């Protein structure tokens, strides 16, 4: 056989095998998207717990596989229901953003609890299936590949039939379409919601157990990567589309496999996200959407709650700023000053998010990518071109603004959750490019000896100096944003948020204004990144990981979306909380998750938001 053809066939089989795994992960996510219209950040944790339950049953209790899978289904189904009952119930009448935040809190708590119970070490999950392999071309597949394919396709089939032909399935779909109407028709929407989470829990748990078997390993942090790939597969197939997400998973697996074959394994994610965004540009609602339907109401499914921010009296704001400015005079502890410096820098990122998300109605999970661009641009300009800090910082922000906007440009056709995940992909891509572009960025070795922040040639390295410097930058950014929001630009952005169809028919060129919003936002995040880079003196492709994007979004929504003061309060709170809980050591993030959940419970619309 021709060697190229042989390689192609082998890589196709490799792609189908891993695509199979992605598809399984995507099915449960698709169901929750479809019914609850929610990005469930806790789904990855349920998946991980499923893997652990399976592992306990097989290796500790010595149960056969079918009994173990039954146990996984029962435990994770119950977990799904409990999650809905204790975490989310009571929130769906509230701001739409609340359940999302709640799922973030729950996932922190679940991941950490598992780690405490079973340690962070990966556990071996030996595969009890027969070891025979079926040779296909030059490669071979094992019994587990077949099992995953069978489980994936049959669950999709069963789910499809269930949604089409059973009464509960109808109720589920009706609730998904219009909650209030369904209730009026006598559907027990609470029960339906619970059933959805239960079914999704079963699916997520089974997926986790099967993937644990597939890689013969279970570990507490397996949830995050699974979540990202699951989302991507889902998006490719169309959100909430169950058979679509199976195909999406397989397509993603194939694309990755061909990408690795052509460029090497380190380009896997870069290639995957590039293709994802490429597909979305051509088909903004995924590969299998029959028609491009507009959401029934303009704000459905965005992260933006239908709430107005609390108007904070000017005196309180000025007082707060005064306290912040005087703080280092009163307190000299560098530890506290460093925490607040971090908070000011993250507040800039949260502010930049309020601008795109709360004002222009575009959600972004890619702010960390903009931070990385700003940090690298500024660091390289001062290291290689010898520019002074101030100039490098400004140039870095501008480069982040321009590059960031260009990167997000293809996503402008997208709506709601699609924008969020596309920007998450963009953030990942930025870091992957940094890791692979040795000539410019020094690759994975990162940049060392970045000069510290300075002002007019004087180095600002003491904790007090960096505190005031970062605070000043934050205030400047806030003033700029305030000025913009009060101009005609701000009005136009709000018009786009409230109803983009109406705005467009009133003559607003949507893309230009969205581009402007993203430019300002990316520039601000870039400035925060640039300052951090100089403060750290060393950065690499992991310094601004996508978890920072999620953190910034959490801060912005906790503060009350679209509310500038709220974003800053959220940033201070979420930077300080993990520090407050330092004494709890291993339990730190468990408690952090629970506190986040409680905050959402009592202020579902954000701390400074009103319904």
Partner 1 sequence: MFKTVNSRIAIASALAAVVLAACGAPAATQAPAAKQKAPAAEQKASAEPIIIGVSGPLTGQNARYGEQWKKGFDLALEEINGAGGVDGRKIEYVFEDSQSDPKQSVVVAQKFVADPRIIVEIGDFSSGASMAASKIYERGGLVQFGMTNSHPDFTKGGGEYTWSNSSTQSQLAPALAELAVATVGLKKPAVLYLNTDWGKTTYQLFEEKAKSLGAEIVANEAYLPEEKDFKSALTRVRDANPDGLILISYQADGALIVQQLEGAGLKLPIVGASSLQSPDFLKLGGKAAEGVLLRAQFLPSDPQPRIKNFVDKYKAKYNETPDFFATHAYDTIKLLKEEIKIGGATREGVKTALAQLKDVPSVIYGKVTFDKETRRVSDPTFVNLVVKNGEFVAWEGK
Site for partner 1 in 450-479 (CB under 8 A): 452, 461, 463
Torsional class of 386: left (φ above 0), alpha (ψ -120 to 50), beta (otherwise): left
What distance in Å separates the CA atoms of residue 108 and residue 13, rounded to the nearest whole number? 36
Instruction: List the x/- string, 243-282, binding to partner 1 by CB under 8 A.
Output: -------------xx--xx--xxx-xx-------------
Which listed residue (64, 90, 126, 278) binds partner 1 by CB under 8 A? Answer: 126
Q: Does 538 bind partner 1 (CB under 8 A)?
A: yes
Is position 543 an interface residue for partner 1 (rule: CB under 8 A)? Answer: yes
To the nearest whole angstrom, how small is the minimum distance from the Cβ of residue 266 to partner 1?
A: 4
Matching residue, tokens 């400004």: 394
* Interacting span for partner 1 (CB under 8 A) from 120-128, 153-161, 295-303, 489-497: 120-128
Sequence-ordered list of residues with C-beta below 8 angstroms from that of 461, at least 6 positions apart, any chain: 452, 453
Burial 278-299 (b: 16+ CB within 10 A, else e): ebbeeebbbbeeeeeeeeeebb
β-pair partners for 142: 133
Q: Toward partner 1, which CB reaches closer, 131 or 282?
A: 131
* Footprint of partner 1 on 339-358 (CB under 8 A): 339, 342, 346
Q: Decide if residue 10 touches partner 1 (CB under 8 A).
A: yes
Strand locations in 96-221 (E): 123-124, 133-136, 139-142, 217-218
CB of 579 to partner 1, least distance (A): 5
Q: Does 310 sit near partner 1 (CB under 8 A)?
A: yes
Q: Give CA–CA dist 375/303, Å, rounded.
A: 27
Instruction: Identify which range of 192-200, 306-314, 384-392, 498-506 contacts partner 1 by CB under 8 A.
Output: 306-314
Q: Which of 129, 384, 506, 586 binds partner 1 (CB under 8 A)?
A: 586
Binding mask 208-247 for partner 1 (x = CB under 8 A): -------xxx-xxx--xx----------------------
- Least Å distance, CB 326 to partner 1, is 14
Q: Which of 3, 386, 439, 457 binds partner 1 (CB under 8 A)?
A: 3
Least distance (Å) between residue 77 CB and partner 1: 26
Determine which residue in the list 65, 78, 82, 139 makes contact with partner 1, applying CB under 8 A. Answer: 139
Interface with partner 1 (CB under 8 A), residue from 64, 90, 138, 157? 138
Q: How far is the CB of 342 from partner 1 (least distance, A)?
A: 6
CB 37 within 8 A of CB 252: no
| 118 is a contact residue toward partner 1 (CB under 8 A) | no
Among 548, 552, 554, 567, binds partner 1 (CB under 8 A): 548
367 Cα distance to chain centroid: 11
Specify the residue, 17 or 517, whose C-beta has the smaller distance to partner 1. 17
Q: 124 - beta bridge partners?
A: 217
Is 112 an interacting residue with respect to partner 1 (CB under 8 A)? Answer: yes
Dihedrals phi, psi of 15, to nearest 5 degrees: -65, -40
Using CA atoms, how far apart are residues 539 and 314, in angstroms rounded to an integer? 38
**Per-residue DSSP letters for 376-404?**
HHHHHHHHHS---HHHHHHHHHHHHHHHH
Binding part of the chain for partner 1, among 31-39, 170-178, 235-243, 579-587 by CB under 8 A, reads: 579-587
Token duo for residue 534: 């100089």
Closest to partner 1 by CB, 413 or 603: 603
Please give the structure tokens belonging to residue 253: 């697996």
CB 303 within 8 A of CB 420: yes
Residues 417, 364: contact at Cβ < 8 Å? no
User: What is the rounded end-to-end Cα distance, in angstroms, of the chain?
Assistant: 67
Smaller CB separation from partner 1, 121 or 505: 121
Say if CB 469 and CB 453 are below 8 A apart. Answer: yes
* Distance from C-alpha of 399 to C-alpha of 171, rounded to nearest angstrom: 50
Q: How far is the CB of 325 from partner 1 (least distance, A)?
A: 15
Using CA atoms, how far apart are residues 45 and 223, in angstroms rounded to an integer? 5
Residue 289 engages partner 1 in binding (rule: CB under 8 A): no
Q: Least Å distance between CB 39 and partner 1?
A: 20
C-alpha 88/C-alpha 99 separation (Å) is 6
DSSP 563: -
In angstroms, give the least distance from the CB of 583 to partner 1: 7
Candidates 24-32, 96-104, 121-129, 474-482; binding stretch for partner 1 (CB under 8 A) = 121-129
Q: Which of 325, 331, 484, 594 binds partner 1 (CB under 8 A)?
A: 331
Tell how strand 308-309 and strand 217-218 pair up. Answer: unpaired
Cβ-count burial of 210 within 10 angstroms (0-12 exposed, 13-18 middle, 19+ buried)? buried
d(C-alpha 189, C-alpha 274), whole Å: 39
Nearest to 270 by CA among 468, 442, 427, 388: 427
Tell me whether residue 277 or residue 450 sits nearer to partner 1 (CB atom): 450
Nearest distance, CB of residue 478 and partner 1, angstroms: 17
Select the residue interacting with partner 1 from 124, 154, 166, 504 (CB under 8 A): 124
Q: Among 578, 591, 594, 601, indicate the residue that binds partner 1 (CB under 8 A).
A: 578
Q: Is 507 in the site for partner 1 (CB under 8 A)?
A: no
- 325: contact with partner 1 by CB under 8 A: no
User: Nearer to partner 1 by C-beta: 503 or 556?
Assistant: 556
In the complex with partner 1, which residue's Cβ is closer, 488 or 582?
Answer: 582
Distance (Å, whole) CA 112 – CA 31:
26
CB of 359 to partner 1, least distance (A): 21
Q: How far is CA 186 from CA 84, 172, 179, 406, in A?
A: 21, 12, 11, 49
Q: Enumerate residues 66-85 that contact partner 1 by CB under 8 A.
A: none
Q: Is 322 in the site for partner 1 (CB under 8 A)?
A: no
Among 4-12, 149-157, 240-248, 487-495, the segment contacting partner 1 (CB under 8 A): 4-12
């Amino acid at each position: 056989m021709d060697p190229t053809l042989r390689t192609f066939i082998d890589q196709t089989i490799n792609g189908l095998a891993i695509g199979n795994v992605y598809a399984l992960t995507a099915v449960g996510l698709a169901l929750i998207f479809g019914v609850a219209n929610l990005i469930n950040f806790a789904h990855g944790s349920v998946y991980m717990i499923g893997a652990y339950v399976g592992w306990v049953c097989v290796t500790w209790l010595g149960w056969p596989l079918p009994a173990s899978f039954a146990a996984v289904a029962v435990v994770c189904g119950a977990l799904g229901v409990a999650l809905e009952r204790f975490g989310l119930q009571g929130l769906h009448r509230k701001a739409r953003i609340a359940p999302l935040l709640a799922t973030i809190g729950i996932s922190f708590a679940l991941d950490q609890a598992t780690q405490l119970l079973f340690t962070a070490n990966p556990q071996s999950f030996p595969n009890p299936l027969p070891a025979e392999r079926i040779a296909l071309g030059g490669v071979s597949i094992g019994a587990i590949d077949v099992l995953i394919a069978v489980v994936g396709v049959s669950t999709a089939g069963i789910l499809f039939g269930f949604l089409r032909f059973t009464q509960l399935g109808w109720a589920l779909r009706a609730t998904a379409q219009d909650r209030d109407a369904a209730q009026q028709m006598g559907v027990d929407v609470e029960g339906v919601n619970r059933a959805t989470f239960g079914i999704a829990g079963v699916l997520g748990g089974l997926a986790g157990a099967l993937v644990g078997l597939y890689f013969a390993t279970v570990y507490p942090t397996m949830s995050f990567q699974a979540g990202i790939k699951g989302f991507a597969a889902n998006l490719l197939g169309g959100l909430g589309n169950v058979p679509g997400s199976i195909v999406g998973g397989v397509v993603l697996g194939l694309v990755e496999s061909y990408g690795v074959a052509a460029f090497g394994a380190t380009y896997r994610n870069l290639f995957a996200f590039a293709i994802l965004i490429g597909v979305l540009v051509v088909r903004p609602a995924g590969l299998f959407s029959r028609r491009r339907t507009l959401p029934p109401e303009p704000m459905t499914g965005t992260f933006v709650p239908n709430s107005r921010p609390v108007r904070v009296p000017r005196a309180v704001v000025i007082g707060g700023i005064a306290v912040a400015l005087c703080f280092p005079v009163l307190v000299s502890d560098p530890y506290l000053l460093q925490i607040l410096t971090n908070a000011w820098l993250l507040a800039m990122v949260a502010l930049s998010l309020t601008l795109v998300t709360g004002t222009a109605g575009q959600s972004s999970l890619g702010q960390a990518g903009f931070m990385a661009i700003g940090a690298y641009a500024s660091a390289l300009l001062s290291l290689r071109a010898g520019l002074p800090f101030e100039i490098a910082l400004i140039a870095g922000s501008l480069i982040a603004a321009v590059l960031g906007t260009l990167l997000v440009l293809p996503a402008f056709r997208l709506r709601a959750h699609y924008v969020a995940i596309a920007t998450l992909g963009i953030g990942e891509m930025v870091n992957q490019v940094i890791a692979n572009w040795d000539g410019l960025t020094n690759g994975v070795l990162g940049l060392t000896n970045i000069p510290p922040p300075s002002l007019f040639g004087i180095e600002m390295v003491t904790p007090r100096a960096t505190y005031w410097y970062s605070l000043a930058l934050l205030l400047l950014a806030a003033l700029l944003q305030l000025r913009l929001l009060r101009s005609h630009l701000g009005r136009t952005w709000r018009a786009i948020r409230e109803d983009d169809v109406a705005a467009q028919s009133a003559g607003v060129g949507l893309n230009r204004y969205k581009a402007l919003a993203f430019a300002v936002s990316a520039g601000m995040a870039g400035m925060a990144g640039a300052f951090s880079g100089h403060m750290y003196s060393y950065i690499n492709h992991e310094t601004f990981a996508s978890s920072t994007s999620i953190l910034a979004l959490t801060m912005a929504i906790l503060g009350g979306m679209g509310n500038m003061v709220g974003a800053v309060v959220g940033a201070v709170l979420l930077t300080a909380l993990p520090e407050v809980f330092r004494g709890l050591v291993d339990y730190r993030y468990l408690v952090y998750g629970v506190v986040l959940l409680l905050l959402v419970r009592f202020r579902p619309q954000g701390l400074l938001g009103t319904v």
